[in-house]
Amino acid sequence: MKLKAIKHKFQEELGMVYPAEEIDSFFNILAETYYGLKRIQLATNPDLALTNSNKILKALGELKKERPLQYITGETEFFGMTFKVDDGVLIPRPETEELVEWVLRKAKPNTVIDILDVGTGSGCIAISLAKHLPQAKVFAIDVSPEALSMAKKNAQLNGVNVYFEEANILTLKRLSEEIKFDIIVSNPPYVREKEKQFMKPNVLDNEPHLALFVKDDEPLLFYKAITNFAINNLKDNGLLFFEINEFLGNAMIDLLRNKNFENIELKQDIFKKDRMIKAEKTNG
């Protein structure tokens, strides 16, 4: 089957669901992933025929069901690195890259520091920090064994050492008697159940709800648990970073103030949404 015929089939069958530019992007990514064909080859050789088009046509069928492309190919890019993903972990988002960038700006480079990532999922935060802070000792916890298995594969794939541990932050008191952290960072579940109605099927029907949702009456459940954990497990002047629900910025400020954290900074993402918050533990 010729490439141009397959591309036309993509546009014809996905046109009611996705914009044309995104469909072309899907086609180009799949052609390179499955057949090693670069975009320039696709443009200059439209009459090129595939001896086996089964893979890309199967992917087309999954895209029609609004399955995320990243789950179809089994990988995504985050902070310039490749990460394996499956439906046991969230697909890393660009706004989480902004959180990582903020942590890196505030961390002391070339300094031996201890960092903890709570709810690591694919490991994207912990692994990115370990890659760019080679002197740091990075720890990561998650309640899901499946997520930890994927995170460990990603750490190996990207050539970093992260200390992974299965743990539930809702009940965890201390990770180690010997360690207090310079930085604790987390992107915990923060989408309220009532916000499901605004979510697209590709997310709602595919990504793990365990990593996405909290009850409407307990929207800060994980933030409270992590903040309480940080009180006893952050060093003095240690930093606490969160990715947050855009509608709960003021509630997060109140939470951190009530727990005696200081130098609180609420930060917007590139879409001008309140998406991150930082606080410092200054009490002894």
For residue 237, pLDDT beyond 90: yes
Query: Binding site annotation covers 120?
Result: yes
| Residue whose structure tokens are 């409270």 | 224
Average pLDDT over residues 89-118: 94
Average pLDDT over residues 256-266: 97
Contacts of 225 (CB under 8 A, 6+ apart): 169, 170
Q: Dmax over Cα atoms in the chain, in whole Å?
A: 70
Query: Binding site annotation covers 121?
Result: yes
* DSSP 8-state code for residue 271: T
Contacts of 231 (CB under 8 A, 6+ apart): 259, 260, 281
Residue 190 or 279, more confident: 279
Query: Binding site annotation covers 187?
Result: yes
For residue 284, pLDDT beyond 60: no
pLDDT digits (tens, 9 = 90+) for 203-220: 778 878 777 778 888 889
Query: Binding site annotation covers 80?
Result: no
**158 exposure class (CB count in 10 Å sphere: 0-12, 13-18, 19+):** buried
Helix (H) or strand (E) holding 235: strand 234-243
**Per-residue tokens: 90:** 């969230």
Round to the nearest angstrom and report the end-to-end CA distance of the chain. Answer: 69
pLDDT digits (tens, 9 = 90+) for 135-182: 999 999 999 999 999 999 999 999 999 999 999 999 999 998 889 999
Hey, what CATH topology would domain 75-281 get? Rossmann fold (3.40.50)
Query: Binding site annotation covers 119?
Result: yes
* DSSP 8-state code for residue 2: B
Query: Binding site annotation covers 190?
Result: yes
Query: Binding site annotation covers 18?
Result: no
Q: What is the per-residue DSSP string for 144-213?
A: -HHHHHHHHHHHHHTT--EEEEE--TTT---S-TT--EEEEEE----EEGGGGGGS-HHHHTTS-GGGTE
Query: Binding site annotation covers 61?
Result: no
Q: What is the per-residue DSSP string for 27-56?
A: HHHHHHHHH---HHHHHH-TT-B-S--HHH
Average pLDDT over residues 8-30: 95
**Three-state SS at 5:** helix
**Which pLDDT belongs to residue 201?**
81
**Which pLDDT belongs to residue 198?**
78
**Per-residue tokens: 153:** 């594969």
**Three-state SS at 270:** coil
For residue 117, pLDDT beyond 90: yes
Contacts of 38 (CB under 8 A, 6+ apart): 32
**86 exposure class (CB count in 10 Å sphere: 0-12, 13-18, 19+):** middle
Most confident option among 105-114, 181-190, 193-202: 181-190
For residue 196, pLDDT beyond 90: no
**% of the chain at pLDDT higher than 70:** 99
**Per-residue tokens: 210:** 């365990």
Q: Where are the domains of the chain?
A: 3-65, 75-281
The number of CA neighbours under 13 Å toward the Cβ of 138 is: 29
Cα(239)–Cα(166) distance, rounded to whole angstroms?
Answer: 23
Q: What angle do CA 146, 147, 153 make, to 5 degrees?
A: 95
Q: Give one word for 93, left, alpha or beta, with left for phi > 0 and alpha for psi -120 to 50.
A: beta
**Which pLDDT belongs to residue 109?**
79
pLDDT digits (tens, 9 = 90+) for 24-65: 999 999 999 999 999 888 888 888 888 889 999 999 999 999
